[in-house]
Amino acid sequence: MSKAIENILQQEVLSKKDIVRLLNSDETERKVLFARAAEVKEAYVGKKVYYRGLVEFSNLCGKNCLYCGIRAGNKKAHRYEVTADEVLEAARYAWDNKFGSIVIQAGERSGKDYVTRIERLVKEIKQMSRGELGITLSLGEQTEETYRRWFEAGAHRYLLRIEVSNPGMYYRYHPKDKTHDYQERLNALYLLRKVGYQVGSGVMIGLPFQTLDDLTDDLLFLQDHDIDMVGMGPYIEHEDTPMYQYRDQLIPKMERFYLSLKMVAVLRIMMKDINIAATTAMQAIDPMGREKSIKVGANIIMPNLTPTRYREDYLLYEDKPCTDEDAEECKRCLEARIHMAGGEIGYGEWGDSKHFARRKKS
Ligand code: SAM
Ligand code: SF4
């Protein structure tokens, strides 16, 4: 007979078998898991939820991840780059509204001009906000020098999901070529840490062919690599991508959603003091998805501040939410929802990863 969830949750350390069991919990058992994760969250990181205003800076991308709607090979995507003035305007909105931080995310690009453009933007945002706005970047794999330049310009957190932690499985979801190299992606995480960033990573949940064993290995990967912040959410199909051909192999969206909630809850129990984001993909399946993630362990939320005219074009997957809401509307509805989920908003605070602070001290 398999162990009772209650017994597993009393253990200090979870074995691989225990984690699989937790991810496999049924409707009644998962409530126990969620309650425990909520307790751990409150004890280690408190009730506060921190805002990171998200600017989807550009959907231009040099890569061809097989699942992503803005991959280079999708000729139907209408490409854009937000202007520097518009980014600054979004940053000013975030600052005026005491968001604490912003995230600049985009497809992966390189080149001298691009690197300099981002460096300048980071500096300008810092200047405009008198150093008060925290900046997270999510701009893919770059050289150590680029990471360092952006860090010195003022960015202090970086998100780079490993996507799937098993090197063998990686090439089921990425072309097997020089621009999609597992070791390079892994190395990028080391470089980010070396340069001094708070390092964020994560995975997609519910990919075709993925098992609970694989997801357990993903959680152990995040723990073994001592990641400071995690963003992980359900994989959602996009019809203009090669992975769409496997849509019949997917578990139903609601199951992907609950599996993602369980992943968040188990991760909170395993890595008690890290930052965990309530991801947009959760909201794409359930309108209250992000708030439900907050209830079971997440403590970061990324309200979308991308100028509305670009939103329809940053379409990573189908049914992406909030593509037509402006920042004001987004803010008002979010605030109420976070309170409903028992959270408090950490206005004007960076809300850095406590785990990072601890790792720097030791
Ligand atoms: N280009 C950068 C990178 O890949 O690290 C940052 C932007 S990329 C669009 C951000 C994240 O979107 C990826 O890390 C991936 O996990 C997620 N994503 C892409 N396609 C997705 C899909 N179909 N369903 C769910 N998440 C997806
Ligand atoms: Fe480009 Fe990132 Fe999408 Fe991959 S996931 S195709 S790197 S935007």
Query: pLDDT by residue (tens digit) across 133-162?
Result: 999 999 999 999 999 999 999 999 999 999
Atom of ligand 2 nearest to the CA of 62: 1
Domain tally, the chain: 1
Q: Whose CA is nearest to atom 19 of ligand 1?
A: 68
CATH code at 179?
3.20.20.70
Please tell me the residue having the least CA distance from ligand 2 atom 4.
65
The H or E element spanning position 42 is helix 27-44
Q: Give the tokens for residue 19.
A: 């984690």
Which of 327, 251, 266, 337 lies closest to 297, judged by CA? 266
The Å distance, Cα 246 to ligand 1 centre, comes to 18
Ligand 2, atom 1: closest residue by C-alpha: 107
Q: Is 203 helix (H, G, I), strand (E, B) or coil?
A: strand
How many angstroms does the Cα of residue 67 sit away from the middle of ligand 2?
A: 9
Mutate to test the pocket of ligand 1, among 136, 316, 319 (most ligand atoms within 8 A of CB): 316
Interval between CA 109 and ligand 1 midpoint (Å): 14
CA of 105 to the centre of ligand 2 (A): 10
Given a cut of 60, whether residue 8 has pLDDT beyond it is: yes
List, in order, residues 6 or more apart from 4 with CB less than 8 Å away: none
Quick one: pLDDT band at residue 1, thresholds 50, 70, 90? low
Amino acid symbol at 239:
E
Predicted model pTM: 0.96
Tell me the pLDDT tens digit for each residue of 91-138: 999 999 999 999 999 999 999 999 999 999 999 999 999 999 999 999
- Ligand 2, atom 3, lies closest to the CA of 68
Model confidence over 192-237: pLDDT tens digits?
999 999 999 999 999 999 999 999 999 999 999 999 999 999 999 9
Segments forming the whole domain that contains residue 16 = 3-361
Q: Which of 58, 59, 63 to mutate to test the pocket of ligand 2 (most atoms within 8 A of CB)?
A: 63
CA of 303 to the centre of ligand 1 (A): 17
Closest CA to 132 of 90, 85, 87, 99: 99
Tell me, in angstroms, the distance from the centre of ligand 2 to residue 139's CA: 9
Integer CA distances (angstroms), 30 to 12, 53, 285, in order: 19, 31, 19
**Closest ligand by atom to 240 CA:** 1
